[in-house]
Amino acid sequence: MARRRVLLLLKPLDVYPPRPLATSIQTNGDRTISSKILRHLDDRCRVHKETIDHCKSIIERRDLDWELIMRNNLSKSICHIDLVITVGGDGTLLKASHFMDGSVPVLGVNSDPTNDLEVEEMSEEFDARRSTGYLCAATRGNFEQVLDEVLEGKKQPTELPRISLKINGAKVQSCALNDILMAHPCPASVSRFSFRIKKECGDTSHLINCRSSGLRVSTAAGSTAAMQSAGGIPMHISMPDLQYMVREPIFPRELDIPLMHGFIKPNECMAISWYSQEGMVYFDGSHVYYKIRHGDVAEVSSDAPALKVFLPSSLLT
């Protein structure tokens, strides 16, 4: 029997910008940024590196063919692999997802989980939150146990819906696991667009004409991220619907207000006509994007290969 092939994908160690050598920085003449913040940032790098070393040592003791790659160096489709392990947070798992079809499962390791007590204690000094890791099933503490459960078939992946985008009838290569944002590339500019919801049977909603700061569409997995921050509804991870929200609509018609926020069912799609001179569609943040222009027509749906993810048990209840 051939040995299983594993790809270990890592968040870089230099994710924090260079800092001054001094232990404190003067700001506004009389306030200082405590050296406590700098120690905190150094500690984040140390903990992340220790988690990487821990995961590598455990993988090395298994009968696996494995390779390591930094996420910034990932540039082609992940294939001929049996399991992807990401070490970092949700951002690293999302990065991997853009290079994966529905055939390979991914296991996320949160390399530096947030300590709620620390966040509370430091709240008057700085933001002490660490890695998010919402979709990560493992941490340094339980990685060995979770990995063995995966390798022995005791833990099964969940198929998470993703968002598909067509521009002028042509399907773009990327799929979004969390959300897409359609907006003008300048955040201070108004986005002008129209949309309607179309059903497979041919029925459609009335046309909604928008002037706003853009349009966001999320999966259930992404509904607890930017969508919830904007006032959206958190969805159970198993829900197949997409949720959409027009961001900061300008003087919508009373008739349109109920459709400024809603859901796209699996048998539906959203057809969007773009009327700004420039536009961008951002996938899962700012690193993957596609340009759109005045007159382009985009179609958003869940017609995309689901991603197999080993999820934390807390999301499955």
- Edge-to-edge strand ranges of the sheet holding 297-301: 170-171, 164-167, 297-301, 268-274, 191-199, 208-212
Cα 244 to chain centroid, rounded: 16
Please confirm, yes or no, whether 90 is among the known catalytic residues: yes
Catalytic residue among 30, 43, 82, 90: 90
Token pair, residue 33, equals 């940024």
Provide the annotated active-site residues: 90
